[in-house]
Structure 1
Amino acid sequence: MYGARAANGVIYITTKKGKKGERAVINARTQWSVSNLARSESQKEMMNSEELQQYWLESSYRTQAQIDQIKKDWPNDTYWADVYFKQDVPMKQYDMDISGGSDKTEYFVSASYLDQEGVMYRSGFDRITLRSNITTTLNNWVKLGLNLGGGYDRRQTNQHIENSLNGGLSLLALPWYTPYDENGKEYTGRQIPGLALYHPHYLADMFPSKVKTQKFNPTGFIEVKPISNLIWRTQGGMDYYNYRTTSRRLASYVGNLNNGTAGEDWSQGVSRTLTNTLEYKWNVNEINRLTFLAGQEYTDFQSDLFSASGTGVADDRLSQLANVTSGQTINQRKTEYAYNSYFGRIGYDFNDKIFVNATIRQDASSRFGKNNQKAAFWSLGANWNMENENFIKDHTWVNALRLKASIGTSGNSGGSGPSWNYQHLATVSSGQYNASSAWGLNVAGNPDLTWENQMMANIGFDARFFKRLNIEFEVYDRNTTDLLMDVPYPYTTGYASILSNVGKLNNRGLNFQISYDVFSSPDYYLTPVINFGYVKQKFKELFQGRDYWIIPNTGVSYVVGDPISFFYPMLKGVNPDNGNLEWYVPGEDNTKTNTDPENVTSTFSSAALQQNTGIKRYAPINGGFGLNAGYKGIYLESYFTFSQGKYLINNDSFFFSNPSQFPGVNQTRAVRDFWKAPGDVTAFPKIGVTRQFDDSLIENASFLRLKSFTVGYALPKSILEKSNFFKGAKFYYTGRNLLTFTKYSGADPEVDSNLTTGVNPNTKQSVFGLQLTF
């Protein structure tokens, strides 16, 4: 029922509401927290001064005399992670809401303020949000509702991230250099002696970047009951944003003195949705009930972007765009799309035992050519409430048992971003040719482009046994056809690829959740819970008769008969006889993993040696487990998440553990295990042999993480009643990402990507909160 963009699942959100006839209830909450990097293992694995100097001696990179001079000139041992990343970063948040209602009206009003610093210098986020939700019944046949939400936030970002020596690669800094001068002050206005880099705080001050965002998302509805059991509902809403980025390089920056830059990016967008439904409930008799629903929904989106930048700003006080004197650039873009849908549903209820739903939906999208804009999707589902059957009622240990099954189709019209909106059209762009204005072909277009289709079937059950054991179980089979994929074409056509409907993909798996009420009473309770998901993925068909396709610049490949996998040259290891690296030579079919120890080479070629590593891009097993417990006002909630079979390309390791490729910078302790003489069995080759982009960079990123842990105390009602003012009060501590167990050597194993490039990792937070209700 959720339409065109539900192919990847639906998140259903119901905003909080008041209650009819309830006096006003006020909730006030305040939270304070500190944050640190969730994991610091990668930073701690970098060598200290003594270790690196000894390594340089062993590898003959420096002589003893040179090392002695370094110790004399630079008697320091700096842990650079503490310079580039902040510790105990503060956050504060204040929330208040008021809810209640009269005989005909329900209301809920809330406000929130959040102020949070980032772990990198000059990074942070502060936000104000407001929301009101009002529903009123005018009379017996008309009901109105209005939900208003809005917010304003400011974000400050450090521009030196990812593969930057002033960001993600900052740990390469030599540990004997120091960021402080002889007076103990940070170097400002000049580079750190020896390091040839500016202090990260000074650099961030000289390259400020700020983002301001305003959002407004109102929704209103009218619900009319013209006759008994018939409901007509019209709902309209929009989601509006205004987004502005201001970035500068100050003119006082000594690295480019009196030549500052100014840049402004502005964009706004609005998504509007109008939905009309008509629902009729027909009770045929006491045990047979039918529900009919028909509806129409229209959604559109429009966005505008404008940006300008330039250089040549001579003074920090002249930072506006009007003061740039050279290198002026401008950019403007507009994009839009629309969907129009019609849908219907028939629901059947037999004596509160058997429930059947059938739906049909037609979606039309402007993203496709006029001959392919429309597609129809359907679903059929059933639910058998077995605990109401006589043959189950006799078994008192069965408290609830529901069997459920469904099958249906849905459509996908592509991803986010403006490039998806016009792929069916042949488009052009402007440029210069022979010093004259010109235009050229930009996108080939595909008038046959249409919907990606998905059919999913599942069957499962929900049950409760012995008034303690709760089980939810489901198995599913999902087949995706006509995938929206970039199909490669020879460059002689003028295009590298054209978006097309090709290929077939199957995902088959199961999900279950189990909880058990060990204790359950008004004074104490104890409930452990575990959930588990497993998926088996297989590509069933590609395009152009291919058996495989490597997505350019990713190391990820589609292989018919296999899941999405990593395709890389496979490293055999270090040859103990000569200290060179050796790689397995692929067989005739490089979609099959070949690790024949008799067929290796020491000559590296990314194109010639790439093969199917057999390592899956997506983890097949994901889940979590936790515990809810309480005793007379004291409560505890904890939850772990885990992922098994997860792998990441640790791009950072290419820099941090590659001394021959990047000499003269710090490295991990692991590189000390290098080849020195025939017979040595080592992890790293002899000095002078560089590490390559091969499967040794693909690391096992399976993890177990304590995602959240809360312990608190709620004051008993006997104490609160004496005040005749407070209805509730609780104090609590919440920890997030407190513990992480993984073999992954990078900063964060939870990254959902094929490759990590030094971006800000997750943080662990300790939150202290107070909530009052009155």
Structure 2
Amino acid sequence: MKKLLQSLFVLMLFAVSAFAQERTITGTVTAKEDGLPIPGATVRIKNSNVGTTTNANGQYTIKAPSGAAQFDFSSIGYNTVTKALSAGSNTLNAVLENDNRVLDEVVVTGYGSGRRLSGTVGSVATVSAKTVENKPVANALDAMQGKVAGLTVFTSSGEPSSTSSLRLHGVGSLGASNAPLFLLDGIQVDETTITNMNPNDIETVSVLKDASSTSIYGARAANGVVYVSTKRGKVATDATISVLGQYSVANPASDKFYRSMLNTAQLSQLQIEQGLRTPAATAALLAQYPNDTKWYDYYYKKDVPTYQTDVTVSGGGGKTAYYLSGSFFEGEGNRFRSGFDRYTLRSNLTSTLNPYIKIGLNLAAGTSNTETNGLAGNDTNGPLALLAQPWFSPYDANGNEYYGTIIPGWGRYSPRYIADNTPFNRNRLTFNPTGFVEITPFKNLTIKSQGGIDGYIDRETSARLASDVRFPGAGTLSESYSRRLNKTVTNTIEYRFSLDRHNFTVLGGQEYVDGITQDFGANTSRLANDGLFILQNGDASNRGVSSFKSEYSFKSLFGRLEYNFSSKYFLDASIREDKSSRFGANKQSATFWSVGGMWRAKQENFLRDLSWLNDLTVRASTGTSGNSAIGNYESLATAAGSSNYNGLPGVIQSAPGNPDLGWERQQKTSAGFKASFLNRIRLDVEFYYRETSNQLINVPQVFTTGYSLVRTNVGAIQNKGVDITLDFDVYTNDEHRAFITPYINGNMNRNKITDLFQGKNFYVNPGTGVLWAIGEPVSYVYPMWAGVNSANGLPQWYVPNAGDASIVTRTDPNAVTSSFSAAGLQQNTGIQRYAWLNGGFGFASGYEGFYLNVDFTYSKGKYMINNDRYFFENPTSFPGFNQSTTVLDYWKTPGQNATFPNLTQQFTQFDSRLIEDASFIRLKNLQFGYNLPKSILDKTKALKGAKLFFLARNLLTFTEYTGPDPEIDTNVTLGAYPNTRQVGFGLQLTF
């Protein structure tokens, strides 16, 4: 008994000693990608059940026995890290690196429950929330420029409400749209829906690039798929409240074009040399108007503000997770009457009702107001207002603006006054509800039904005010109301099973999509008073009404089979049948398919022990998809409206219809690999070959048929290229949460036309300067400029070869002419319409709580027809107006090598000089921020996180292009509204 008591006493002493030696360990868990804290990360003493989780600021506290030396750090979406605690230290920080294999669990690449990237045959590029959030623009997709190899993103306007143009792997169609399919939480939406949502609600944007990942979307996926997933809460987590506010100011990204106008001294001297005015008359003119106006500074406002405020609440209790958000965005444009404001609300809820049923409901709504300046293009009160002579001024001698009165000498009203008196406004109410029910009657079988709506209601108002002194008492008003509802209903059944090391997933599904757009409008005139500016107060004898309705529908069946052996060898196959109302009665249905394979080579025994090779995965796929992006009734013989014939009502047939109009088809074959080396370097390479046939082209008709164009399935085009993505860790230091991770990606693409229509070897698109020629890429066709004859100052153009001018480019110095003929001298310039290289580069870095992210984007081989130069480099065609400083280099004496001919000639024609290299490098995004440390946050009762950041967009642009903006995505540009350069700051608080 005595020995037993002694033993118990010793054990008690040991326990008390162990308790006395227990210590408190604290630290912070952050992401390697950007240095930001990771909330909800798990911290566990190695080989024990003792653990905790990090708070919203990534901080944790854990009580550990004195002997505990190693700790495991883990979080969904990141690689698990084991860290050793230094002797005598009670602080242990950890930096976690993204684990794409885990991230795939929340990235949907098709229908069903989603797949890990390590087990996905398809080529999928995922952009996280950090890429699109906290940007000073309404358009979330603008932030993706240069972030995904193969995806070209251009924002072509400085309008705050503008959308971006997106192309994946080149131009896949010469007649239909080249935009990808946009999906928001699985529901098909229009790109404008993305613009009208809060970018900070986005969790991930996945770009599906190859046939294995896109073919299951069938008829709509020829141009790729952009899948946007919104944020959700997490079950069994406390509520996290985040408040974000940011402010920025905007100016045109580059003013080089506008600053190139002649000043008063230069223009007055040029006009003397032209013989437009004598020196004495010029002196008298300048004495009367002693100004040197920079009209650009008047037409474009400076430092216009952009505001954004977001509030989000997320978390979960029991078996329900929630995410709630509200946001306000207001952006003012640099042009008069240009602006956009938006209010949004979102509620995402998911709940597990019982072990067999899970439901989800996303409710999103918003309202936006768009104000647009209608003075565009070649309007001399708009973009061409810079033609105004600099000696005239919109202000009098006392600095008062000539507002509502004619500008002396110029003889016009100010552009601002005209814009204010001809307003255009659009109010849009958007709603995007989605919901699903997921049933698991037994293990591995999932039945899911999902439905959603992409809808909006628009009210547009355009007017000329009755108070406009140009037309007193003659106000006009036009109002329209439009409603669009696109509905998607999807039902799937998925079963997963394994036979030893053979793993299978079988999925079948049905989908129905329909859309209806309806609008009506009315207009009136002779409104006499701005205070009574409503339709009914106009002239009763001068009113008009209109209405419109358009509908379409898709019916689809699809299936997918996935197989892998030991998670090492993978195969998948998909098939889909689509039927669309847009196509002719004989061709409404089509079937699309894909097959693909992947080999996780690193798991092979002969590679497993290579310490320098961390991962190697090889993949390949081929398959078909379709394009249906045309009008809803182009296969039908339609009537334009009513008319009178011999005193009786009738209709006019506007289109002949085409009952054999069917799907545009594409087959795409891809092969590539993904590898990582030395735990620092990550490389992804993919080659692809894309061929589109049966294109949906408007084919020209003989006018005697009564129709100019008929939509027909003709022609073929090829695209081939390679995507390359590389990022690597230059420096890492977990103790100080320090890292520098540069990246670069690029897409090299070449297109070639292989077939046209009506036996043609080439076709010139009227009025576009664009040529389609068999065996050639899409190119520009114009007379080729041969320079100025230095002997006599006459302009010269190359004479093309007879018969093959659209195929062969001829620049023979012995075959030139000074007689211009737009049609007779037209030939293939050899200049491609689309850039052959696009991509981005930059780096992410951090130290302690500081971080710096820099993103550049670039385009090489991008060309545009700069139509602005026709107006601003033509003093003999537009005498008296202001011009660019370039016109001063004109021919004066024999032997002179000049840019422009002598003053008896037209300086600029529509020829190859206007086709400019618009290649560029642009600093797209820059963000520098600081996360307040725990020592400061602990002094508050509620604050869990605080981040202060500086942001900039389009801060620098490097280009040889002389027009307003090289990023514009078009073949011909005139009077463009350039992108904006924005700088600002923001503050985000987490409670």
Normalised-by-shorter TM-score class = over 0.9
Contact 2:585 2:660 in 1 (8 A): no
Contact 2:338 2:372 in 1 (8 A): yes
Aligned amino acid, residue 763 of structure 2: W
Unpaired runs of 5+ residues, structure 2, are 1-215
Aligned amino acid, residue 459 of structure 1: A
Aligned amino acid, residue 424 of structure 1: S
Aligned amino acid, residue 74 of structure 1: Y
Which residue of the partner structure matches residue 760 of structure 1?
977
Contact 2:378 2:974 in 1 (8 A): yes
Q: Distance in 2 between matches of 1:348 and 1:514?
A: 29
Aligned amino acid, residue 339 of structure 2: G
> What secondary structure does 2:532 align onto?
coil
1:408–1:743 CA distance, 2 compared to 1 (3 A): same
Residue number among 712, 720, 726 corresponding to 1:500 in the alignment: 712
Matches within 5 A, 1:125-164: 125-164=340-379
Matches within 5 A, 1:15-30: 15-30=230-245
> What secondary structure does 1:661 align onto?
coil
TM-aligned CA deviation for residue 414 of structure 1: 2.5
Contact 2:217 2:576 in 1 (8 A): no
Which residue of the partner structure matches residue 542 of structure 1?
756
- Mapped pair 1:422 → 2:633: yes
Which residue of the partner structure matches residue 521 of structure 1?
733
TM-aligned CA deviation for residue 492 of structure 1: 1.1
- Mapped pair 1:198 → 2:413: yes
- Mapped pair 1:479 → 2:696: no
Higher relative contact order (CA 8 A, sep 6+): 2
TM-aligned CA deviation for residue 160 of structure 1: 1.0
Aligned amino acid, residue 707 of structure 1: K
> What secondary structure does 2:228 align onto?
coil
TM-aligned CA deviation for residue 404 of structure 1: 1.0
> What secondary structure does 2:606 align onto?
helix
TM-aligned CA deviation for residue 323 of structure 1: 1.9
Which residue of the partner structure matches residue 181 of structure 2?
none
Q: Distance in 2 between matches of 1:701 and 1:427?
A: 41
Q: Distance in 2 between matches of 1:670 and 1:206?
A: 35
Q: Distance in 2 between matches of 1:19 and 1:357?
A: 31
Deviations 1:513-557 (A, max 9, x none): 111101123320000000011001100111111110111211111
TM-aligned CA deviation for residue 679 of structure 1: 2.6
Q: Distance in 1 between matches of 2:743 and 2:941?
A: 38
Matches within 5 A, 1:449-488: 449-488=661-700
TM-aligned CA deviation for residue 430 of structure 1: 2.4
Deviations 1:365-424 (A, max 9, x none): 100122211100001111212222222111011111111111110011134xxxx11111
> What secondary structure does 2:225 align onto?
coil
The runs of at least 4 consecutive aligned structure 1 residues that moved more than 6 Å come to none
Residue number among 423, 436, 446 corresponding to 2:658 in the alignment: 446
Higher-Rg member (1/2): 2
1:327–1:648 CA distance, 2 compared to 1 (3 A): farther
> What secondary structure does 2:936 align onto?
helix
Aligned amino acid, residue 876 of structure 2: S
Which residue of the partner structure matches residue 85 of structure 1?
300
> What secondary structure does 2:694 align onto?
strand
Matches within 5 A, 1:370-389: 370-389=585-604
Aligned amino acid, residue 519 of structure 2: L
- Mapped pair 1:593 → 2:809: yes
> What secondary structure does 1:4 align onto?
helix
- Mapped pair 1:716 → 2:933: yes
Which residue of the partner structure matches residue 187 of structure 1?
402
Aligned amino acid, residue 949 of structure 2: Y
Residue number among 666, 669, 673 corresponding to 2:885 in the alignment: 669
TM-aligned CA deviation for residue 720 of structure 1: 2.1
Residue number among 370, 392, 407 corresponding to 1:177 in the alignment: 392
Q: Distance in 1 between matches of 2:650 and 2:283?
A: 63
Q: Distance in 2 between matches of 1:494 and 1:231?
A: 56
Residue number among 488, 493, 508 corresponding to 1:273 in the alignment: 488
Aligned amino acid, residue 380 of structure 1: V
Contact 2:309 2:327 in 1 (8 A): yes
Aligned amino acid, residue 697 of structure 1: L
Q: Distance in 2 between matches of 1:693 and 1:742?
A: 23
> What secondary structure does 1:271 align onto?
strand
Deviations 1:84-115 (A, max 9, x none): 11000011100011110123111101111011
Aligned amino acid, residue 581 of structure 2: S
Deviations 1:688-738 (A, max 9, x none): 322211111111100010001111111123432342422211111110001
Deviations 1:304-324 (A, max 9, x none): 121222221122222111122
Q: Distance in 1 between matches of 2:773 and 2:303?
A: 46
Aligned amino acid, residue 356 of structure 1: L
Q: Distance in 2 between matches of 1:76 and 1:336?
A: 58
Which residue of the partner structure matches residue 703 of structure 1?
920
1:112–1:435 CA distance, 2 compared to 1 (3 A): farther
- Mapped pair 1:739 → 2:956: yes
Deviations 1:561-598 (A, max 9, x none): 01101111111122223322222121121121111122
- Mapped pair 1:52 → 2:267: yes
Q: Greater CA deviation, 232-241 or 588-597?
A: 588-597
> What secondary structure does 1:608 align onto?
coil
Which residue of the partner structure matches residue 561 of structure 1?
775
> What secondary structure does 1:236 align onto?
strand
Residue number among 548, 552, 566 corresponding to 2:766 in the alignment: 552
Q: Distance in 1 between matches of 2:349 and 2:494?
A: 23
Contact 2:699 2:711 in 1 (8 A): yes
TM-aligned CA deviation for residue 118 of structure 1: 0.7
Aligned amino acid, residue 299 of structure 1: V
> What secondary structure does 2:632 align onto?
helix
Aligned-residue RMSD, C-alpha: 1.3
TM-aligned CA deviation for residue 432 of structure 1: 4.0
> What secondary structure does 2:420 align onto?
helix
Q: Distance in 2 between matches of 1:712 and 1:429?
A: 58
| TM-score calculated relative to the size of structure 1 | 0.98
Q: Distance in 1 between matches of 2:792 and 2:549?
A: 60
Q: Greater CA deviation, 182-191 or 142-151?
A: 182-191
1:759–1:328 CA distance, 2 compared to 1 (3 A): farther
> What secondary structure does 1:55 align onto?
helix
Aligned amino acid, residue 628 of structure 1: A
Contact 2:219 2:663 in 1 (8 A): no
1:263–1:544 CA distance, 2 compared to 1 (3 A): same
Which residue of the partner structure matches residue 324 of structure 1?
538
1:697–1:230 CA distance, 2 compared to 1 (3 A): same
> What secondary structure does 1:153 align onto?
strand
Q: Distance in 1 between matches of 2:968 and 2:852?
A: 28
Q: Distance in 2 between matches of 1:556 and 1:265?
A: 35
Which residue of the partner structure matches residue 430 of structure 2?
215
TM-aligned CA deviation for residue 355 of structure 1: 1.7
Which residue of the partner structure matches residue 154 of structure 2?
none
Residue number among 522, 535, 540 corresponding to 1:308 in the alignment: 522
Residue number among 571, 586, 607 corresponding to 1:356 in the alignment: 571
Contact 2:769 2:782 in 1 (8 A): yes
TM-aligned CA deviation for residue 327 of structure 1: 4.0
Which residue of the partner structure matches residue 9 of structure 1?
224
Residue number among 868, 876, 882 corresponding to 1:652 in the alignment: 868
Aligned amino acid, residue 527 of structure 1: T
Q: Greater CA deviation, 160-169 or 509-518?
A: 160-169
Q: Distance in 2 between matches of 1:4 and 1:479?
A: 15
Contact 2:554 2:581 in 1 (8 A): yes
Q: Distance in 2 between matches of 1:278 and 1:693?
A: 59
Which residue of the partner structure matches residue 51 of structure 2?
none
Residue number among 905, 912, 916 corresponding to 1:689 in the alignment: 905
Q: Distance in 2 between matches of 1:126 and 1:504?
A: 43
Aligned amino acid, residue 291 of structure 1: T
Aligned amino acid, residue 542 of structure 1: L
